[in-house]
Amino acid sequence: MRREYRLRRTADFDRVRANRSSWAHPLLVCSRLPRGDLEPTRVGIVVGRRVGKAIVRNRVKRRIREAARMVHPRLQPGNDVVFIARPAAAEAPLVDLARAIETLVGRARLWRGDRDGEGQRPSAASGVP
């Protein structure tokens, strides 16, 4: 995912997580904060120590980043989104993480044109081999 589409500062992560708008899935938790501008949506990923050791956490981050990269072009602009990995994400394949992200994005109403509930809802794990 391109650098300008990622959250990088601790203050940005804290601001999104303090908003209290979140949706849960067995693999991930999604928090969202509308920014009010028309800049592209930025995505942040949090993988805590409960998920596993450093090698496992980095692998989970790479998989979540790839799954988020696939859905990013279809997201509404002007939001900051943080995905927090749960321990079950360590054993989940990319396809399951992609489905979890699509489910959470749908529940958060982040698909383009989803203001009225009729946004683009792709088939589960579209584009995942």
Query: CA 51, 54, 57: angle at the middle one, nearest 5?
Result: 40
Candidates 1.10.3720.10, 3.40.50.720, 3.40.800.10, 3.30.230.10; correct CATH number of 3-107? Answer: 3.30.230.10
Residue 127: predicted pLDDT = 54
Q: Is 87 helix (H, G, I), strand (E, B) or coil?
A: helix
* Residue 104 pLDDT: 97
pTM: 0.86
Pairing of strands 28-34, 79-85: antiparallel
Q: Which residues of the chain have pLDDT under 50?
A: 116-120, 124, 129
Domain ranges, ordered by start, for the chain:
3-107
pLDDT of residue 83: 97
How far CA 12 is from CA of 19, 20, 52, 53, 54, in Å, comes to 11, 14, 25, 25, 23
What is the per-residue pLDDT for 115?
A: 58
CA separation for the pair 29, 8 (Å, rounded): 18
